[in-house]
Amino acid sequence: MKTLTKLIALIGLAFGAKIGWEHGGKDMAQNAAYEFAEDKFKGRAQQQIKNLRKEIAQKDQYIAELTQQLKQLTTENEKLQKYQQEAEKKKDSLHRMFGEDNPK
């Protein structure tokens, strides 16, 4: 990919240089070369930006899904802890009722 990019840039520079020298100057050649290269790469850069934005949106959606799962798991964990506390209370109550000295 980088090699292709460099090749296109060199072709652009050569094309721009030819046009520039034919019209009489180094500055014109450089400007033409830069404009040619810029036009060629602008479309590619815009496509890459579009792809990156799409990828970021997908990652954001995945993060939102994970956040939702985390909330659900946290709620479920809290419920389980409450059930465990209630079970411990009932267990302690039964030990007291039946007089066992060593609750486990």
Distance (Å, rounded) from C-alpha 66 to C-alpha 60? 10
Show the tokens assigned to 3.
Answer: 């090699």
Quick count: other Cβ atoms within 10 Å of Cβ 17? 17
For 17-52, write each residue's pLDDT tens digit: 666 555 556 666 667 677 777 777 777 788 888 999
Nearest to 103 by CA among 1, 90, 42: 90
Residue 96 or residue 30, greater confidence: 96
Lowest-confidence segment of 36-40, 51-55, 59-63, 92-96 by average pLDDT: 36-40
In the chain, % helix, strand, coil (3-state, to 5) comes to 90, 0, 10
Q: Is residue 81's pLDDT more than 80?
A: yes
